């Protein structure tokens, strides 16, 4: 007889609930708070990244204020949307998710939609602590230099967490505590939903405070664990415009530091804006006041800036150079190609060894639609050239200064065109235009 495999009780993988229904009053905005962008993407997108990065696929998002806007922005995301019609506090918000979570044995990670700097590794570490402590609740805490506004974590003489007290409700002595509640927790699902039903909104804000479940757990003899985050930037909650820009600065610094580790030089890192999620190969030098948006790919030994703007869809091949006041969008610049001064390159596919003369513009938009420009290997454009797309310049083709190459009038390989509208020059008058 074949042996029956011994299987323990199957524990469902963790699910996540992101609390994102709040009004964000202090942002003074008509927009939902979680839609405000940090380093070019909505706060909620960063939180979702952390959750997915930690391997959690069952994600619930509690929405309320401007929930239509939020759902629309994130349509196509696999999250389950939970409505909290009336905002009665974080405890009330989590309770709204109870009917949707299902498996009562589950571990629930609960996150705030307004804390976009959390790393996936930290969420994973919290889940690990929660499992190994077999706790009903595990809270991520952090010692921060300025704890004002956050809930404070109170501990007994033995160092065990006894409660979390909100800033507004804290005594002077409690406010002196610098260990704060990050707003990220792991719970045993059934235990937390049961504890939430015992909360009372007896506090300064008359709200159901989620952190109050700590006291309920301890009163019921259920174990409460904690993990201290070592990097205080990870727990920043965004409640104001200032905190929004602080959060962007943190993410930009992280991305630049990561790229420096990989061999990229930033001449002035404090004056360079790089969104998370770019790829840059070693020995590329990024000069000051450059903006690099997410998804941009830059090869090795490229030279970028000063004052370049590389938008999504940009790809620079090895040894390419992009300089002062050059904006590139959804375009590829081939090996050893250069666009050094005052250009817009949009929806363009540019080959190798191309010289884009100062002030060259790809006129990609006809008022209704965007059109592509193709510039083949070894071609060059004279200063102030306008290429009205869709248009193509063949291998080694050239334009004279101020040429306007009109739509569909492709420049054949090796031919020089000039004028407005640009036309081939008679072979005798062709000159070798040189840009540097
Ligand atoms: C909360 C914690 C605090 C912690 C801090 C970390 C409570 C009571 N306090 O404070 O201990 O230090 O986060 O950043 O939980 N939300 C809802 N529905 C509501 C109310 C809030 O979905 O009815 C959402 C908000 O959209 C936000 C999150 O919950 O994303 C936190 O709410 P917020 O009002 O910002 O709480 P804090 O005062 O920052
Ligand atoms: Ca907050």
Q: What is the rounded CA–CA span in Å between residue 287 and residue 297? A: 16
The confidence band for 334, taking pLDDT boundaries of 50, 70 and 90, is very high
Average pLDDT for 176-195: 98
Q: What are phi and psi of 216, to 5 degrees?
A: -65, -45
Q: What is the pLDDT of residue 427?
A: 61
Calculate how far, in angstroms, residue 108's C-alpha sits from the geometric centre of ligand 1.
17
From the number of C-beta atoms within 10 Å of its C-beta (0-12, 13-18, 19+), residue 262 rates as exposed
CA angle 384, 385, 386 (to 5 degrees): 115
The model's pLDDT over 13-32, given as tens digits with 9 standing for 90+, comes to: 899 999 999 989 999 999 99
Average pLDDT for 220-236: 97
Lowest pLDDT segment from 12-21, 161-170, 341-350, 415-424: 12-21
Residue 32 CA: which ligand is closest?
1
Lowest pLDDT segment from 9-13, 256-260, 403-407: 9-13
Length of the chain equals: 436
Percentage of residues in the chain with pLDDT exceeding 70? 95
3-state helix vs strand vs coil in the chain, percent to 5: 25, 30, 45
Active-site annotation holder among 60, 92, 309, 341: 341
Domains of the chain, residue spans: 14-235, 262-424
Taking each continuous run of H as one helix and of E as one strand, the counts in the chain are 9, 36
262-424, what's its fold? Answer: UDP N-Acetylglucosamine Acyltransferase; domain 1 (2.160.10)
- Minimum-distance ligand 1 atom for the alpha carbon of 23: 26
Calculate how far, in angstroms, residue 270's C-alpha sits from the geometric centre of ligand 1.
31
Of 16, 22, 204, the one to substitute when testing ligand 1's pocket (max ligand atoms within 8 A of C-beta) is: 22
Residue of minimum CA distance from atom 1 in ligand 1: 183
Average pLDDT for 141-147: 97
Percentage of residues in the chain with pLDDT exceeding 90? 93
Average pLDDT for 140-155: 97
Residue 28's alpha-carbon distances to 45, 59, 373, 430, in angstroms, are 21, 28, 43, 62
Q: What is the pLDDT of residue 102?
A: 82
The model's pLDDT over 286-327, given as tens digits with 9 standing for 90+, comes to: 999 999 999 999 999 999 999 999 999 999 999 999 999 999
The confidence band for 349, taking pLDDT boundaries of 50, 70 and 90, is very high
Residue of minimum CA distance from atom 7 in ligand 1: 209
Average pLDDT for 426-435: 55
Of 177, 183, 228, the one to substitute when testing ligand 1's pocket (max ligand atoms within 8 A of C-beta) is: 183
- Ligand 1 pocket, residues with Cβ under 6 angstroms: 19-22, 62, 84, 87-90, 92-93, 112-115, 150-151, 164, 166, 180-183, 209-211, 237, 239
Q: Which of 220, 204, 93, 97 is nearest to 151 (CA)?
A: 204
Average pLDDT for 212-221: 98
Average pLDDT for 423-434: 65
Q: What is the rounded CA–CA span in Å between residue 185 and residue 412? A: 64
Residue 136's alpha-carbon distances to 90, 127, 165, 218, in angstroms, are 18, 12, 19, 10
CB 167 within 8 A of CB 149: yes
* 80 pLDDT higher than 70: yes
Q: What is the pLDDT of residue 103?
A: 78
Query: What mean pLDDT is reported for the chain?
Result: 95
CB 61 within 8 A of CB 111: no
Q: What is the rounded CA–CA span in Å between residue 281 and residue 265? A: 10
* 9 pLDDT higher than 80: no
Q: What is the pLDDT of residue 8?
A: 45
Residue 203 CA: which ligand is closest?
1
Of 90, 201, 211, the one to substitute when testing ligand 1's pocket (max ligand atoms within 8 A of C-beta) is: 90
Residue of minimum CA distance from atom 25 in ligand 1: 22
Lowest pLDDT segment from 23-27, 95-99, 332-336: 23-27
Query: Which residues neighbour 243 within 8 Å (Cβ) at sequence distance 6 or greater?
Result: 236, 237
- 341 as an active site residue: the answer is yes
Q: Which of 103, 139, 152, 140 is nearest to 217 (CA)?
A: 139
Residue 95 CA: which ligand is closest?
1
Beta strands of 337-385 (E only): which ranges?
338-341, 344-346, 348-350, 355-356, 361-363, 373-375, 380-381
Query: Which residues neighbour 74 within 8 Å (Cβ) at sequence distance 6 or greater?
Result: 42, 44, 45, 48, 61
Q: What is the rounded CA–CA span in Å between residue 81 and residue 67? A: 9
Architecture of domain 14-235: Alpha-Beta Complex (3.90)
Contacts 24+ apart (CB under 8 A), 363-367: 363/387, 363/388, 363/389, 364/389, 366/407
Calculate how far, in angstroms, residue 104's C-alpha sits from the geometric centre of ligand 2.
28
Q: What is the pTM of this model?
A: 0.92
Residue 70 CA: which ligand is closest?
1
Calculate how far, in angstroms, residue 113's C-alpha sits from the geometric centre of ligand 2.
8
The confidence band for 224, taking pLDDT boundaries of 50, 70 and 90, is very high
Residue 280 bridge partners (DSSP): 298
* 101 pLDDT higher than 80: yes
CB 238 within 8 A of CB 33: yes
- Side-chain half-sphere CA neighbours of 320 within 13 A: 26
């Amino acid at each position: 007889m074949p042996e029956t495999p011994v299987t323990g009780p199957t524990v469902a993988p963790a699910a996540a609930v992101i609390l994102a229904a709040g009004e964000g009053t202090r942002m003074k905005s008509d927009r939902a708070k979680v839609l405000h962008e940090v380093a070019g993407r909505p706060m909620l997108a960063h939180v979702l990244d952390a959750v997915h990065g930690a391997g959690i696929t069952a994600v619930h998002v509690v929405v309320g204020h401007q929930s239509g806007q939020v759902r629309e922005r994130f349509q196509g995301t696999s999250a389950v949307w939970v409505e909290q019609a009336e905002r009665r506090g974080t405890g009330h918000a989590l309770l709204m998710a109870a009917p949707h979570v299902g498996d009562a044995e589950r571990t629930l990670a609960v996150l705030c939609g307004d804390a976009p700097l959390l790393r996936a590794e930290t969420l994973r570490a919290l889940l690990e602590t929660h499992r190994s402590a077999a706790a009903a609740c595990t809270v991520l805490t952090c010692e921060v230099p300025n704890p004002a506004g956050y809930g404070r974590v109170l501990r007994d003489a033995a160092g065990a967490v006894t409660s979390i007290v909100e800033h507004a409700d804290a005594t002077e002595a409690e406010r002196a505590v610098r260990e704060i509640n990050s707003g990220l927790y792991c719970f045993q699902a059934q235990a937390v939903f049961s504890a939430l039903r015992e909360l009372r909104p007896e506090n300064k804000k008359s709200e159901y405070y989620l952190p109050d479940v700590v006291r309920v757990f301890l009163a019921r003899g259920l174990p409460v664990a904690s993990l201290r985050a070592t990097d205080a930037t990870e727990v920043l909650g965004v409640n104001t415009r200032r905190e929004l820009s602080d959060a962007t600065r943190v993410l930009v610094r992280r991305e630049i530091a990561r790229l420096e580790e990989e061999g990229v030089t930033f001449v002035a890192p404090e004056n360079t804006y790089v969104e998370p999620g770019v790829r840059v190969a070693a020995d590329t030098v990024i000069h000051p006041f450059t903006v690099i948006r997410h998804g941009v790919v830059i090869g090795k030994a490229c030279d970028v800036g000063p004052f370049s703007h590389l938008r999504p869809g940009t790809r620079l091949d090895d040894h390419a150079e992009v300089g002062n006041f050059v904006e590139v969008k959804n375009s590829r610049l081939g090996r050893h190609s250069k666009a050094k001064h005052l250009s817009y390159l949009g929806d363009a596919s540019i080959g190798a060894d191309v010289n884009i003369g100062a002030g060259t513009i790809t006129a990609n938009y006809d008022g209704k639609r965007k059109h592509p420009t193709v510039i083949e290997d070894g071609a060059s454009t004279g200063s102030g050239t306008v290429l009205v797309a869709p248009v193509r310049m063949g291998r080694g083709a050239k334009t004279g200064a101020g040429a306007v190459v009109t739509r569909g009038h492709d420049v054949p390989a090796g031919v020089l065109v000039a004028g407005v509208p640009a036309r081939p020059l008679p072979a005798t008058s062709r000159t070798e235009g040189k840009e540097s």
